[in-house]
Structure 1
């Protein structure tokens, strides 16, 4: 007998229909479905957007063959099927051409999340997403945490979690390992914290 807590709150098909409806009617909300649970991402603030743009610019400068796609819907193959919209998805340019709303994550080199000032950030960005992205096999997860003023680079997924996590304070350079191969000067992040 399976405990009620072990069951998904809704079926994947129900989530996809709800997400389509929300996209048409609920301005500023984005839905995700991770580990059988419905998640709602609020509209990002301007500083959040600036961080994503800053990272896009750096990626274009240092890895022009890659694109940092904002809010790209991904199929997340975790314990239960899921759907996520990372703040940034780094992949070779053209990887999502012809893909549906929820794309195959196979070409993804890095998922990026920038924390928002909402009550679900801890559970969503610091707990569930590292596990879900690692289980999906995404090589790197970059968490830019505005609450703690830290950047964490998760790497070496083993199927359940990331074997390596390097955390630095804003202002400290950090290496993003292969297959990304990028060094970030995190000093500018200090300008985008409330």
Structure 2
């Protein structure tokens, strides 16, 4: 990039498209005008997403938890995030490419990574960005605090309701998701 040139969504997507793809390379995100790096999933984080995928499929075989699908986010879709999971109807992202529209997304899932940026990224910036996008439910599996946070009722700025439970409790993922989530297994995938 040339000095003084602002990072825009188009420039970001071009950068992300041409980035060198290397095993274990981090993924790029663009949230609230800031370039961010998302660590690739570790084995336990991947296992959490596989577990959730199975639960979602059992609840409704016509909906799927898509792992790591890039989404255009924010009020004007001026940002890019790669949630650990995006819950939507089966086939929702066909033909959309790396950065899909969020209109069919019922829930996004983030599983915290063990890096210094996770607090700002997963607990502050992404809930706001996903609420601005209008995604009905944001599920945060927080491996630092051993808690699950269910954000719901987006008002275009923030989620009006946040329910927090420790691992081991059952929590409801509200409509339009409509799944009871027993969080006991999460104890096995947190260090």
**C-alpha separation between the residues in 2 aligned to 1:74 and 1:37?**
15
Question: Displacement, 1:100?
Answer: 2.0
Which of 143, 165, 168 is matched with 1:171 structurally? 168
Question: Displacement, 1:124?
Answer: 0.4
Which of 30, 34, 54 is matched with 1:33 structurally? 30
User: What TM-score, normalized by structure 1, do the two folds share?
Assistant: 0.92
**Residue by residue, what CA displacement relative to the aligned partner does 1:1-41 show, whole Å, maximum 9, x if unpaired?**
xxxxxxx9612122112111225357421000000000101
In the other structure, the counterpart of 2:146 is 149
**Which residues of structure 2 form unaligned runs of 5+?**
none
**Residue by residue, what CA displacement relative to the aligned partner does 1:82-119 show, whole Å, maximum 9, x if unpaired?**
00000000000011111121111000000000000001
**Which residues of structure 1 form unaligned runs of 5+?**
1-7
In structure 1, the residue corresponding to 2:10 is in which secondary structure? helix
In structure 1, the residue corresponding to 2:105 is in which secondary structure? coil
- Which sits farther off after the overlay, 72-81 or 11-20? 72-81
In structure 2, the residue corresponding to 1:109 is in which secondary structure? strand
User: What TM-score, normalized by structure 2, do the two folds share?
Assistant: 0.94
**Residue pair 1:36, 1:80 contacting (<8 A) in 2 also:** no
Question: Displacement, 1:135?
Answer: 0.3
**Residue by residue, what CA displacement relative to the aligned partner does 1:44-79 show, whole Å, maximum 9, x if unpaired?**
110101100000000011121101000001010247
**C-alpha separation between the residues in 2 aligned to 1:128 and 1:164?**
16
**C-alpha separation between the residues in 2 aligned to 1:31 and 1:189?**
27
**C-alpha separation between the residues in 1 aligned to 2:23 and 2:116?**
19
**C-alpha separation between the residues in 2 aligned to 1:186 and 1:109?**
20
**Taking structure 1 as reference, are residues 23 and 90 closer, same or farther at Cα in structure 2, changes over 3 Å only?**
farther
Q: CA RMSD in A?
A: 1.5
In structure 2, the residue corresponding to 1:174 is in which secondary structure? strand
**Residue pair 1:23, 1:30 contacting (<8 A) in 2 also:** no
**Residue pair 1:76, 1:132 contacting (<8 A) in 2 also:** yes
